[in-house]
Amino acid sequence: MGKLYDRLANDIRIKEWLKACINCGTCVSICPAAEFYKYNPKTIVNIVQSQDDEQIEALLKSETIWD
């Protein structure tokens, strides 16, 4: 695990939400932002679950996470 993921892993939202994700895609179908923007919550979850600091850092620096 990388340093960024380690910091994220201490957040209660990661323990309660992200680790509970089974990648079903329901979040994408009900997300109001996904309807109007190129925003895909599932992609964000997959990147964070990968525990790859380079991908997480790129995500945080991109516009995607802030849409």
Q: What is the pTM of this model?
A: 0.74
pLDDT in tens, 21-53: 878 888 888 888 878 877 888 888 889 888 899
CA 35 centroid distance within chain: 18
Using CA atoms, how far apart are residues 35 and 62, in angstroms rounded to an integer?
19
pLDDT digits (tens, 9 = 90+) for 56-65: 999 989 988 8
Has residue 55 got a pLDDT over 90?
yes
Q: How far apart are CA 12 and CA 16, in angstroms?
A: 6
Number of neighbouring beta carbons within 10 Å of residue 36: 9
Q: How many CB atoms lie within 10 A of CB 56?
A: 21
Residue 67's pLDDT is 65
- The answer to whether 67 touches 33, Cβ cutoff 8 Å, is yes
pLDDT of residue 54: 94
